[in-house]
Amino acid sequence: MTSFPARRPRRLRSTPAVRRLMAETHVVPSQLVLPMFVREGLTEPQAISAMPGQSQHTLDSLRRAAADAAEAGVGGVMLFGVPAVRDAVGSGADDPDGILNVATTALVEEVGDALVVQTDLCLDEFTDHGHCGVLTPAGGVDNDATLERYASMALAQARAGSSLLGLSGMMDGQVQAVREALDAEGFVDTILMAYSAKYAGAFYGPFREAVDSQLTGDRRTYQMDPPNAREGVREAMIDVDEGADIVMVKPGLPYLDVLAEVRASVDVPVWAYQVSGEYSMVEAAAANGWIDRRATILDSLTAFGRAGADAILTYWAAEAAGWIREGL
C-alpha cells in the first residue's frame, strides 16, 4: 500500500487567497520612509545617474514629491541636504538659512500633517572633507568636538520643525549629547532615531553621488566593521540607554542577522535602511531583464519585516506603497 504524507503544508499555499490569509509577515505603506535629497541652487531637479529614478530636488520639486509620497500613504520622509558651500566644520548644517533647515520647514508646511518629516543629523554632506565630524590636526575625527556640532545641528533642525532626527554619524555619546541639548531648549518631544549599527561596507557608493560627497579615504574608524554582529547589538543597547527612541541597522539586506538580533535585544522600535547600493543593484539587474523588478522589491521589503524591522527607509517607498495599496 502506498504511504502518503501525514502532514501536508502545501494546503496552506494552495491559492492566492489562502496564501494571503496565512502570511506571517505584512508590510504596510505606513511602515515605509522615503529618503529625499534637496540641493541648494538648483533650478530644476537633477537626476542621480547612479540611482536611476532618483533626483536631487529643488524646493519646489521636493514639495511635490513629498506630497505624492503622502498621497501614497508612506509613513515619513527623511531629508538630506546638499549645500552650495562647504567648510571644515560643516557650518551649513546648523545655519537656519541652510538648505536642509529651509527644506524642513517647507515640508512641514506642505505635508507635516500627513506624514513624519525627518532629517538626517550628520555633518558629512556639509564638510569640505566629507567626514561625519570635525577633524583633529592629525586628520582623525574628533569625537567630542563633533558632539558639540551635532547638538547645535539638532537644535537647528528642531527649530525648523523636524519631528524626528536621524543621528547617523556613529559618534560615541551622540544620543546623550543631542538629547540633553534638545531637552534644555524645551524640545522634549523631538524623536531621536539612532543609526546604532551602521556598517562601513561597500553598499554606499551611489549615495556619494546623491550628496556630492567630498570624502577621500573611508569611515572605518567610526562606522562599524562588517564582521561584527554582537557589537551591533551592544551599540543599539547603549543608544537606548542614552535615550534613543528608535534604533537603526544599516545597510539592510546584508545585515538581516544583525537586525534580527537587535530586534530581540531592545524594547524600542527597530528600523532598517535599504541603502543606495541595494537600490541600484536591483535597478540595474531589472533594466537588463535579469529579474522581475516589482517582485524583487517586494521580496526585499518582506525580508526586512520578517527579520523584525518596524519601519524601512527605502527609495522605493512611494512606489511600493502604491503597489501594496493596490493589493499587489
> Is-catalytic flag, 198?
yes
- Alpha helices by DSSP H, listed for 4-142, are 16-22, 59-72, 99-111
Q: Is 250 a catalytic residue?
A: yes
Residue 127 pairs in a beta bridge with 87
**Torsions phi, psi of 8, nearest 5?**
-130, 80
CB atoms within 10 A of CB 158: 22
Cα–Cα distance measured from residue 26 to residue 302, given in angstroms and rounded to the nearest whole number:
7
Which residues have C-beta within 8 Å of that of residue 191, sequence separation ≥ 6?
A: 163, 164, 165, 245, 246
Region for residue 316 given its phi and psi (left: phi exceeds 0; alpha: psi -120 to 50; beta: otherwise): alpha
Q: Provide CB contacts within 8 A for 308, sequence distance 6+.
A: 259, 260, 262, 263, 264, 270
Buried/exposed 197-228: b ≥16 CB within 10 Å, e otherwise: bbbebebbebbebbbebeeeeebeebbbebee
What radius of gyration, in Å, describes the C-alpha atoms of the chain? 20
Of 301, 245, 248, 240, nearest in space to 270 by CA: 248
- Catalytic residue, chosen from 250, 275, 277, 283, is 250
Residue 194 β-bridge partners: 167, 247
Query: 57, 86, 149, 198: which is the annotated catalytic residue?
Result: 198
Q: Which residues are catalytic?
A: 198, 250
